[in-house]
Structure 1
């Protein structure tokens, strides 16, 4: 073997790297100073120091200074800059400096908001971690893929994402999807065979590459390149972690911004016409006034505020174990009205435990819980040695050898690597003292095919070395195996399986399924000695061995979550590969149905239906059993045709098409495959159905907060425009100057709009029906409220202005108008915390951010009116304490009117 020091030269030398696929595998292992049993921990520590972590280079972010400068890149800001320049040209220095101050403060607020969103997204990325199955210290463990180093030995199975560039050591039926690298959409067949000639990337059939996906088969491979040295790293590709995409929600925001902008421009045009032609004001004065009203009427910070709302909402969801891969999907979540869910892991605890075994020698009970391989076997309530029963011994052999899972002990706790059902079989055999390593001394696995969800079976070809016989082992759906069995194992002899015996076995299996067990059947057959592949054999004339009944108890919180979902107007559909009796039992346990005999449809029932019958079944039936992935896709399609917004859970490769088709594809973070996660919008970090309901609740809360924030901004801007237009029509002096509107817009919009994004559920989000897909942010329900509070603000402001102008002069009148409009907007903030619920039921302090925003805006308002020099800039004459209290008290009428409106409109609902 070469020494560690030579590895670096080999890896960074392109000539050596290009020849990796041309070398014999022994030479490749020697080149990387590794063995098939893997590296040791000290080796990996050295290599991480030398090569770094297995990560692609991150896109360079803008510096904070550049991010700050970008806040000035907006058409609205250009208008303000133009207004500032004109102010200085015409020697309106006060106006010019105030606009400059507004520009700087607006940029600071925008910068802070974008940094918040950026930090929230960075935090969200930390929740999405890819793992790899790797041999370390001769033990197969599961590690974050970023910890892989050149020389690591990894296992890959169907559904895995390839974590690094690797040379295949050996494989079986391996196919990878390399479209992310080569653009080729068809799967590529792979093998360990050496290539003798120089080959382009797409023809290197003994190599697998980072970011590609395993779509079938399995392999053992050695890592040859990591991080930026991989092929995908060289071309600066992306892992497609968290990214933005155009969505219905973003279209709604653009449409809202366009409408509001159009209204603002029309309003500004009316103001200019009234001021210049109707009131004959100086051009420069009405110009500045029009620009100020335009800027204050357009919520230029709305897109940034909404980005913060989305990012904060997604981060809040992640803390509840629901990880969004695409942020705009959070809005779609709030619209979901159908959840199509699998059973295992999502509704159950995903700790499958084999509790009963049925063979020709009797019904055995097995104790023990979870993945701990310790338990006793009972026959007729007596402890027995399972190895004294030949049928059990054969069953344990099949359990161990027709199995790709592994059991790992970490810190005294047993964990599984692989499929939970196979892991339960492995634990069962270990309880009997049967170890796979010992069996492999006398058995050679020639071919192995993982569980096929279409035929509901997994298969393994085994050579029995001592007897030179070969057998085909089969594990899967009991109906299929019982039907295909012509014999059964009685002790250690095969006997003809009579029809009455088949019926008895089938009855036993169904009786176990009816009480909630997942029932797995085991069978085998002798095959010709020249047979090496599963494809060489059929699945007939089998020898039935026995049944294993497993229990995966429902999660404790699922029943309550289903009740919440139903009360929220969400339909739950159980879509499982289990037997229909098992599906009914679990549906009753979790509260999905209370009927003794609910309607259940199986794959065979659905296959014979016409399109009309299928559509009707999908709209009426809530439990589907023994369904294939293609039927899951069809169910999703028909649900969507009926106008539903569908969320679907999935964990396997074959679930990927249905996950992509669903409005919200939900993959499992623990038991799910990488392929399923790549096809989904939402990843459940805890594989828990209750987390889906929590995510939908959070989606509804985010949309509600977006609506409330938008309504707040619109209502304040409408009030300002009504006030200006009314003052011009009433022949009043202008109640507020351009700098007043600019300052007011600055201190009341940004702080307060963002504070509403932190509003919590109020325990009402799941008590409302789902919103419709095309529901607008500002709907007919909101507009009357906006107009009412806008008119109240305008009347209050103009009334105080007229009173103080008539008695004390223009400067005190402007101060009174400024305080009145600002306080009306601040009191309106509490209105907009909920468009339905009283602020006194919510509690004034239940959203501390709204309280902080109120106090900050109030302080800046007081400083503008009372701080010497500053009030001179604004041309304010300060009010007395009693006058201030009078205006503040009167401005609270906005809150009173809001409470009355909510009571009249919603108290009976």
Structure 2
């Protein structure tokens, strides 16, 4: 009912009338009960939970798994139970991995619920009453005090120095001062200062308001609904592997059927034996170990990221970071410190710079890069005394040794400024005070100085300018200075003083009508993180665009963005402009602009969708509730761990433990390493799988005994391949990985060169092994010996080929040859396993192998060395061809 109403644009009296409530009486208990029954409780709706059995079953919904399960059933019918068991285990392990990667929507919604208030103070039948927040209804008169959580969306009727902490909802870095008068109907969420929103908290002051929305109709409820409605996107890697799996499954099944028909028509194998051989082809060709290897590579990436202060909550997201081409980042607390800092002080004599950031009182007041002697500038000394005295905040270290402020952040940074002076600034007693109020926009204190009493004043510069009664004061000059600093992204505070007689014991507004002397201006910013600047530069070098999406004012956002290297400091798109754009127009604007200001949660979500419409793989960073829908929609949502809300964390794929934007660059680096190592793994596994399938296919064509049995093939695939290829997960980042552009989302998993390399190596290994097999049979070797030598040849050539695959085109024996110790560890383990299957009696029985004399090991070793040398020669030739093509393209472009 109330979702479409713009209560902020109506007079308070009209709101009371429309909602049929009296300010002094509130609702009656009877009316409140009736409305509660009509509109429902003030809580967010629960999502229907998926049954456990369905959650598990859907992870078997994969084409490759179907083929494997079919093979398991057939081998079981034929009595080959070992084959059946191993294939079934592969399918179950794959499903288990998928189950534990279940999406996090339920947790995200639960995180929002934790933000909501438990109790509320309302006025019912004229009495103040505490009720459960879930029982608050539209029309209730709510009483708000410092420390309270706002229980619902409220149109304020009374606001006494009321300041509300809204940064989790709107992204604002400072508390928002509230008032009660009506606003323009087009006012954006962050500027609705006559409203208090559910889930925010009262920082100071008190107020009274009327509830205009509850439950899912509140602003936080709309965000909750946005999260629930956002469709989970598949990561680029999952899309690629899914498409790859379907292609491989269709090809394998089709080829196996053709081979079965060929065997029936042209060979005299028994039907059961022929079926087993065809299953052998399928099992040999299917890279059933790939899902497990993929998960292991991603898990190692997750572990590495944890060591670099990033917690990855979804395995495939590690790789997705490597393909990110655009990062949409919140400003406050992400690119900036979310700690107000004085950066400049302007007096009539000089303009000073202030070093240091945040609330830590470390830094100096500088003039021309020299530390200022405060005693030499009486005006500066008075200004520092003014901002320290005319102040209600406190600054102290917490139990963990971090500097923290209690009170308004703006006043806190003024205390830090005073602490940066070269000499201690005095702390005289305050005898009287005019508290700050939005109606007059300043604060004043009466202080007893040594020889006289002084009224110190600070506030909005325009109000201070109007008070000044001082010879030589040039208002236009100071107004221009104020505008200059505001364009730099600074929030400007005016400071003044007035000397009064020693008999003065109290002050009021009339005491400031004359005799006020202007002291200067103080420029305050929420400073950019130093490490964020370096991270933005690194992103640009890696071909990644960084877009700032903030709820802050456009001038501040543009100025801070320019300092960070985002945008040109002049052009920015505001939320109200986004509202007027169609989706197609926004797609174009999203590409043109780098800074987006005064944005709402819906704007952020639309921008993420616009980036994706531009074929960008998008990461979105943020820390507030307002970021949650966009975090969930993005290809990778990145939440801040220290200052981030639980809602943001649960809606994201990655959490930065240190809130450091640079950690995102580390994550991109790790993502690119993971993807490169995955491709190396595929380059290793597929040729060996294809070589095994080639052996059996050739045997059917030639009408000879099978070189390998299905159970021997499973040994090779599930033990040898998984063990050896695991080593590639530990390969270091390739040179130049962070200077190449991100790969396009539609990049196929297998490039043309990879397909060539797979076929080339498969024929090399398969053809060479088959030739050796036939030669041994012609020489009269026992079939069991031949099969055992063939099995060991396939495995040992894989081990040699592993060293080929450590680099796509670089020479294997380079300076990084010993950098990955895992390669040598798994090679040693592989040799032990082959000795185990060759010489242990019960393994001979299960896998139909025979113990070999030492001389037989020359066959696999020589074959492995030949494969290694030939592939290295091919890499040298291919690298030369690639370099020639690049040179020609470069020459053509010039």
Check conservation: 1:333, 1:699, Cα contact below 8 A.
yes
- The separation in 2 between residues aligned to 1:187 and 1:294, in whole angstroms, is 69
Residue 398 of structure 2 aligns to a residue whose secondary structure is: strand
Residue 284 (structure 1) aligned with residue 257 (structure 2): no
Q: Report the TM-score, using the length of structure 2 for normalisation.
A: 0.64
Q: Does structure 2 retain, via aligned residues, the 8 Å contact 1:579–1:626?
A: yes
Specify which of 856, 868, 881 is matched with residue 883 of structure 1.
Answer: 856
RMSD of Structure 2 on Structure 1 (CA): 5.9
Tell me whether 1:267 sits opposite 2:259 in the alignment: no
Q: 1:734 to 1:667 in 2, by over 3 A?
A: closer
Q: Are 1:519 and 2:508 counterparts?
A: no
Change beyond 3 A, Cα 1:780–1:652: same
Give the equivalent residue in structure 1 for 2:173.
Answer: none
After superposition, the Cα gap between the structure-2 partners of 1:60 and 1:548, relative to the gap in structure 1 and judged at 3 Å, is: farther
Task: Provide the residue aligned with 2:119 in structure 1.
Answer: 167
**1:688 shift after superposition:** 2.5
Q: 1:387 to 1:324 in 2, by over 3 A?
A: farther
Show the 5 A alignment for 1:630-641: 639-641=611-613
Match of 1:99 in 2: 83
**Does the CA contact (< 8 Å) of 1:558 and 1:690 recur in 2?**
yes
3-state secondary structure, aligned to 1:839: coil
Q: Tell me whether 1:788 sits opposite 2:760 in the alignment.
A: yes
Using a 3 Å threshold, how does the CA distance of structure 1 residues 170 and 340 change in structure 2: closer, same or farther? same
Name which of 482, 487, 493 aligns with 2:465: 487
1:818 and 2:791 are equivalent in the alignment: yes
Partner residue of 2:814?
841
Distance 1:310 1:496, change over 3 A: same
Tell me the residue number matched to 1:668: 640
* Matching residue within 515, 521, 524 for 1:547: 521
Tell me how far 1:668 sits from its aligned partner: 3.0
Contact 1:351-1:370 within 8 A present in 2 as well:
yes
Q: Does 1:218 align with 2:201?
A: yes
Cα distance in structure 2, aligned partners of 1:891 and 1:770: 36
1:333 aligns with: 321
* 2:398 counterpart of 1:409: yes
> What are the Cα deviations for residues 31-60 of structure 1, in whole angstroms up to 9, with x where unaligned?
xxxxxxxxxxxxxxxxxxxxxxxxxxx999
In the aligned structure 1, how far is the partner of 2:529 from the partner of 2:153? Answer: 47
Asked if the contact 1:334/1:696 (under 8 Å) is kept, the reply is yes
- Which residues of 2 match residues 609-758 of structure 1 at below 5 A? 619=591, 624=595, 639-652=611-624, 659=631, 662-674=634-646, 676-677=648-649, 680-758=652-730
Residues 1:736 and 1:632: Cα distance change in structure 2 (over 3 Å): closer
Q: CA deviation at 1:294?
A: 2.2
Matched, 1:600 2:561: no
| Correspondence for 1:862 | 835
Distance 1:331 1:895, change over 3 A: same
Q: 1:817: how far off?
A: 1.9
Unaligned runs of 5+ in 2: 1-48, 124-132, 146-150, 156-167, 170-196, 205-214, 216-223, 448-454, 497-515, 887-894
SS of the equivalent of 1:487 reads helix
| Closer, same or farther: CA 489–603 of 1 in aligned 2, 3 Å | farther
Distance 1:728 1:187, change over 3 A: farther
Contact 2:723 2:826 in 1 (8 A): yes
Residues 1:777 and 2:749 are matched in the alignment: yes
CA 273–358 in structure 1, closer or farther in 2 if over 3 Å, else same: same
1:339 match: secondary structure:
strand
CA displacement at 1:462 relative to structure 2 = 7.4
Matches within 5 A, 1:76-95: 78-79=69-70, 82-83=73-74, 85-88=76-79
Out of 270-279 and 805-814, give the one that drifted further: 270-279
Q: CA deviation at 1:893?
A: 2.8
- Mapped to 2, the partners of 1:439 and 1:903 lie a distance apart of 81
Please say if residues 313 and 698 of structure 1, whose CA atoms lie closer than 8 Å, have aligned partners that are also in contact.
yes
Q: Does 1:852 align with 2:812?
A: no
Deviations 1:851-895 (A, max 9, x none): 333333332223323334533554444444233123222223333
Secondary structure, aligned partner of 2:522: strand
Q: CA contact under 8 A between 1:356 and 1:364: conserved in structure 2?
A: yes
Asked whether the equivalents of residues 395 and 406 of structure 2 are also in contact (C-alpha less than 8 Å), the reply is yes
Whole-angstrom distance in 2 between the partners of 1:244 and 1:322: 21
**Which residue, out of 731, 734, 746, partners 1:759?**
731
Alpha-carbon distance, 1:793 to partner: 1.4
Contact 1:520 1:547 in 2 (8 A): no
CA contact (8 A) 1:487 1:495 kept: no
Alignment correspondent of 1:903: 876
| Worse-superposed segment, 854-863 or 654-663 | 654-663
Q: Say whether the 8 Å CA contact 1:352–1:420 is kept in structure 2.
A: yes
Report what 1:829 is aligned to: 802
Task: Indicate if the aligned counterparts of 2:364 and 2:420 stay in contact, CA closer than 8 A.
Answer: yes
Query: 1:503 maps to what in 2?
Result: 480
Within a 5 Å distance, the mapping from 1:463-478 to structure 2 comes to none
Shift of 1:773: 1.1
- Structure 2 contact 284–690 (Cα < 8 Å) conserved: no
Structure 2 contact 379–519 (Cα < 8 Å) conserved: no
Is the CA contact (8 Å cut-off) linking 2:380 and 2:519 kept in structure 1? no
Aligned length: 716
Cα distance change of structure 1 residues 671 and 220 upon mapping to structure 2, 3 Å threshold: closer
d(CA) in 1 for partners of 2:853, 2:419: 86
The question of 1:315 aligning with 2:306 is answered no
| 1:804 Cα offset (Å) | 0.5
For residues 68 and 140 of structure 2, what CA distance do their matches in structure 1 show?
53
Cα distance 1:812–1:76, how it changes in 2: closer, same or farther (>3 A)? same
Deviation at 1:784, TM superposition (A): 1.3
Instruction: Report what 2:178 is aligned to.
Output: none
Deviations 1:369-411 (A, max 9, x none): 753447887999442498997766665566x45x7x9654325
C-alpha separation in 2, matches of 1:814 and 1:656: 59
Q: Could you tell me whether the CA contact under 8 Å between 2:572 and 2:597 is conserved in 1?
A: yes
Asked if 2 retains the 8 angstrom alpha-carbon contact of 1:715 and 1:789, the reply is yes
Secondary structure of the 2:824 match is: helix
Residues 331 and 699 of structure 1 are in contact (CA less than 8 Å); yes or no, is this contact kept in structure 2? yes
- 3-state SS of paired residue (1:801): helix
> Hey, what's the Cα distance between the residues in 1 that align with 2:620 and 2:736?
24
For 1:841, what is the secondary structure of its paired residue? coil
SS in 2 for 1:219: strand
8 Å CA contact 1:340–1:648 kept in 2: the answer is: yes
The Cα of 1:788 is off from its aligned counterpart by: 0.9
Distance 1:276 1:866 in 2: 37
Task: State TM-score, norm by structure 1.
Answer: 0.63
Tell me if the contact between 1:487 and 1:496 (Cα under 8 Å) persists in the aligned partners: no
Residue 802 of structure 1 deviates from its aligned partner by 0.7
Distance 2:633 2:84 in 1: 51
> In 1, Cα distance between the equivalents of 2:137 and 2:122?
24
Which residue number corresponds to residue 38 of structure 2?
Answer: none
Q: Secondary structure of 2:728's partner? A: helix
Contact 1:600/1:625 (<8 A) preserved = no
Separation in 2 of the partners of 1:439 and 1:656?
Answer: 45
For the structure 1 residues 745 and 876, does the alpha-carbon distance in structure 2 shift closer, same or farther, using more than 3 Å as the test?
same
Distance 1:887 1:681 in 2: 46
Q: In 1, distance between residues paired with 2:137 and 2:356?
A: 47
Shift of 1:820: 1.9
**SS of equivalent residue, structure 2 residue 403:** strand
Structure 1 residues 747 and 357: CA distance shift in structure 2, 3 A: same
